[in-house]
Structure 1
């Protein structure tokens, strides 16, 4: 299916959008998918095809579906075209590399864990498939975990071999290398000094291609995995303490991708589709999207590794399918808004185009070839390669106006999902043709969802509100070597408690409204949800980052704000106020400007007066992973932020008293 094939035909709605989910027989509190008829009886989808029930089978199925079509694509550099490995070649190389892993001393079978520390590239997938060929388990490592967490993982999982991208990553691992680490297999060549450094620590460095060559010579007999075998242990970075290893089986991941493909019905990816790979493969959203592409025989092209050049890669690849995260769309939206500020004419034209396209979307018409597309949105569409037909958004909540903008401007189908690593990624997914934003759709066919009372926050299932709990074929086995943490989130009936608070909308779709942990009571007994307030204030053009804080002994909340350097400097120069950002942060006029704008946004969004910040402190340096104030998935580390800004917070409260 190419991007131009839906002209004026509305999307065929697969189900009635007024009734998006069913209830489990005998209960009205547990909701299930309408796309799988056995769901009502409490049976959940495990696979789409009987001959593709593990990720080992999935890849082989894709080779057949595509008739050995292009599988893994990459570019050697800017202005270079994409080159491709076909499915059969990828399968052969994966088999050889897997045989090589056995040849260098790993035991085949699901008790052997292999570390994988690399950016997205063909070798990542070759390693993944190599592991599955011999029932080994993939343990991804990623930069943002930091060296301590990586060492913790290698140690906990007793990993002997890590497949490693380059010199830099090798050295990061060698800095803290635990005893059990024996071999690093490098994709890109390393210098003799690094090899020597490794040797001194009792670690051998081997080249990827040498291991492949050795495996081809030895040609060990394959040992395909069983459905119930682990395929991966995906470590999630907690906001506190050591990362937790989420154990996922082949069945978990295959069930997750099968349910999403089933729900997308005729808009599902096929062997004719090409996907751009740029979200980290160490996270389950990207892993699932790619394995879904391999199941149908589609092609996956890897970005060149620099997010700033993503648009160049997309222009060269011209993908039809793209997984995305809110940050990317927010950036696109902000860029467009900034450009529109410069010209009144452009703004009028743009708003007319947006209104016209929104009118079409409300009739379920999705296209990129209207007059408005040619006049106004062509540039945005071309920046993504010009052929996009399906975008899948996950990982964090997306503002309604940004989602609607994306649907209008991109002229492709945009669906939004909600999920967790613990559920192999998807739990719910919006339905094609549903144009209403700010909800995450009904449960997918591999699981059911119920809401459970959270009395301390006054959420009750009887009012269709509560903690989101999930049960099904996509739900993980438990945390690796951590029975205690597993018991905290999986109850005796097998329900996984997500920690997110949701609400059933009248049409049977789910809306995420809160997070269970981050709430506090003010002295007058009012509950405060800081993340909700932050998500409103962040809309202010002057605010780059914001942390809202309150205490049970105080009657109001205060905020720490990192201003948007460009916007604030621009305003300051227009108003004849000199100085660096640090100087401007201490300027009362600048503070007044930012605080007033935040309060205006808060008022618009309907914040109650006790939810609005009474004062703010301006801080010139962004919260980051490096300074320990953000998690690897860029969520605020609230306890750390609280401790870091303790003096400023105390100062704000003192002045308010």
Structure 2
């Protein structure tokens, strides 16, 4: 939290510790020791609509069967403007936005009335500066998660303006593209570094930076030379506080945000989402979660990027109930410390973080026979309870085996939401057992706000993403080239409903490619309906290539199999139309590989081990065995691999912010090694 943001006289930030002695109480909903109340039969989780097309909808609303989808849960809460005001009422002015000024410091809080007042002032201040109220005014924000992010967003909604988030991994070229495309005049910036990046080649439209932190003199001078003014965040609040600007509340059908997707190729696409789109998706999620949904005594840790809709939806779900959101310190390396300081009851997460927890725990227990034996016993016992619908963390096994994992995430979690990428079944089951809380996994895209399906509380079977939410319907469309047919319950996942986006900003051609004339969003993902009425994502349509013998290859399907190897941390499968076989780049799992090397008397660093022919053979044999067990055809199996010691990451430009592989960049980065692999095959 910036010093500037705490200076206005209307700000009275309070400092509290997140424990049972404060007004953020301990776990609000007792961990359920009796079986969880299921919203419907786990054997029939969606309704099949028969007709010209096979469509499935939620069991929770009768209207969905008639093609009418849920738009809101509360009559008086149909926009994100109204969401926050409902939070004010429900919270009774409880804690709203939390931050801390550094490691080993307690969380401080803005309460709801104060946060709403500051948001109003900020929105009014923008109008004083000359911005026109209404949904044709776009304002950018370039910042990590922090209270000012939400104050900005809500301030814009007070005047029906539209928020346009920017984020680090877009890069200067893509940021400039977004600024130019949306003709942004104003951008809220967190710090000097972010302002300096936007000043590299700013468009003529850009006129104002609003700095969350006090800007450096050099940045001010550089901006001034380019005709760009810099004002502090608290200055805008003060302008609004001294004005008599009235609010201009948005309508449900008006735009709330333009979210530019990072994409894996080309310039990002601006996904246009209305207030109704976002509220519909969140409302349907709350309906399905029933008594497990957020409420006013909940505390959520915010660390996934607010520029992406998964995090935004989770926060909206908390605000609508009057709960509290505490922001992480800004460094993902210190996330464990943030968890322990905040002790959240709710958290969103992504597979990468959960995989790390799983790998760390299994790595530790594998070093001791006794620990390994106890771990297996604990997992088996907790799994049996899961199958009976019991979720708890007070068993003997929780105290003996899982307490360290639970304490590492604060010790109070009752709800964890997983999204953005597939999570391996064994990891999901482990997380459900180890944390002793409700864990739900969702599927969707920015174009569907975020969640289009969600597993239900009490579901213990992994490797599916649940039934459709009440805000949308889902159908599967034939993909003949890949041998997927809806008659066999397989095909491209298509989504239709209240949460589906309006289109891509100023890009009608790409909009037509993604959204057909009947309003169906074509996701490019390949799904399969399971007998339970739940959806399983089994493939990806877009990333396919044809080998020289005419066979189609879906690399992500192969990668999802190979990454199950204990020796594999990351994998990139590559093929070419002039080649008859597939090769791969693999980043080995450091702990498992070094353990194998020690056991076999092979010395050396990870880089040395990656160059060892015996290590190459070990991993190639292991992944091919996994491929064989999973039913991969011979032409789908990789014939040569290159072992790379450094992980693919967002920082080195090989992953998107949602941790998906940037395939064109990976191909370009590893082209010399890929060429060498093919040379070896001749």
Q: TM-score range by the shorter chain?
A: over 0.9
Residue of structure 1 equivalent to 2:523: 498
Residue of structure 1 equivalent to 2:21: none
SS at match of 2:451: strand
Is the 1:161–1:182 Cα contact (8 Å) retained in structure 2? Answer: yes
Cα pair distance change 1:109/1:434, threshold 3 Å: same
* Further displaced range: 30-39 or 134-143: 30-39
Q: 2:230 aligns with which of 189, 192, 205?
A: 205
Kindly tell me the number of residue pairs found equivalent between the two proteins. Answer: 657
Q: 1:548 aligns with which of 573, 576, 600?
A: 573
Q: 2:479 aligns with which of 445, 451, 454?
A: 454
Q: 2:496 aligns with which of 450, 467, 471?
A: 471
Residue of structure 2 equivalent to 1:44: 69
Is the 2:169–2:653 Cα contact (8 Å) retained in structure 1? Answer: no
Is the 1:24–1:42 Cα contact (8 Å) retained in structure 2? Answer: no
Q: 1:53 aligns with which of 78, 101, 117?
A: 78
2:350 aligned with 1:325, yes or no?
A: yes
Residue of structure 2 equivalent to 1:518: 543
Residue of structure 2 equivalent to 1:218: 243
Any idea what the Cα deviations from partners look like across 1:228-274, whole Å, max 9, x if unmatched?
11000000012111000000000000001000000101111111211
Q: 2:375 aligns with which of 350, 364, 371?
A: 350
Residue of structure 1 equivalent to 2:410: 385
2:292 aligned with 1:241, yes or no?
A: no
Residue of structure 1 equivalent to 2:23: none
Is the 1:276–1:302 Cα contact (8 Å) retained in structure 2? Answer: yes
Is the 1:96–1:219 Cα contact (8 Å) retained in structure 2? Answer: no
SS at match of 1:314: helix
SS at match of 1:188: coil
SS at match of 1:220: coil
Is the 1:97–1:130 Cα contact (8 Å) retained in structure 2? Answer: yes
- Indicate the RMSD between aligned Cα atoms, in angstroms: 1.8
Structure 1 gaps of 5+ residues are: none
Q: 1:75 aligns with which of 100, 106, 115?
A: 100
Q: 2:401 aligns with which of 376, 385, 405?
A: 376
SS at match of 1:179: coil
> 1:631, 1:243 → 2: CA distance?
11
Cα pair distance change 1:114/1:73, threshold 3 Å: same
Cα deviation for residue 566 of structure 1 reads 5.2
Residue of structure 1 equivalent to 2:189: 164
Residue of structure 2 equivalent to 1:607: 632
Cα deviation for residue 607 of structure 1 reads 3.0
Residue of structure 2 equivalent to 1:148: 173
Cα deviation for residue 167 of structure 1 reads 1.3
Any idea what the Cα deviations from partners look like across 1:408-467, whole Å, max 9, x if unmatched?
000000010001000011110011111110000110001001111111111111111110
2:619 aligned with 1:594, yes or no?
A: yes
> 1:402, 1:431 → 2: CA distance?
18
Residue of structure 2 equivalent to 1:394: 419
Could you state the TM-score of these two structures normalised by the residue count of structure 2?
Answer: 0.93
Cα deviation for residue 210 of structure 1 reads 1.0
Cα deviation for residue 191 of structure 1 reads 1.5
* Further displaced range: 126-135 or 200-209: 200-209
Any idea what the Cα deviations from partners look like across 1:390-413, whole Å, max 9, x if unmatched?
111111000000000000000000
Is the 1:448–1:472 Cα contact (8 Å) retained in structure 2? Answer: yes
Cα deviation for residue 33 of structure 1 reads 0.6
Is the 1:25–1:41 Cα contact (8 Å) retained in structure 2? Answer: no
Cα deviation for residue 542 of structure 1 reads 3.0
Kindly report which structure 2 residues correspond to 1:29-428, keeping only aligned pairs within 5 A, or say none. Answer: 29-428=54-453
Cα deviation for residue 538 of structure 1 reads 2.0
Any idea what the Cα deviations from partners look like across 1:507-536, whole Å, max 9, x if unmatched?
111111111011233344443221111122
> 1:644, 1:599 → 2: CA distance?
25
Cα deviation for residue 598 of structure 1 reads 2.3
> 1:645, 1:83 → 2: CA distance?
46
Cα deviation for residue 579 of structure 1 reads 4.8
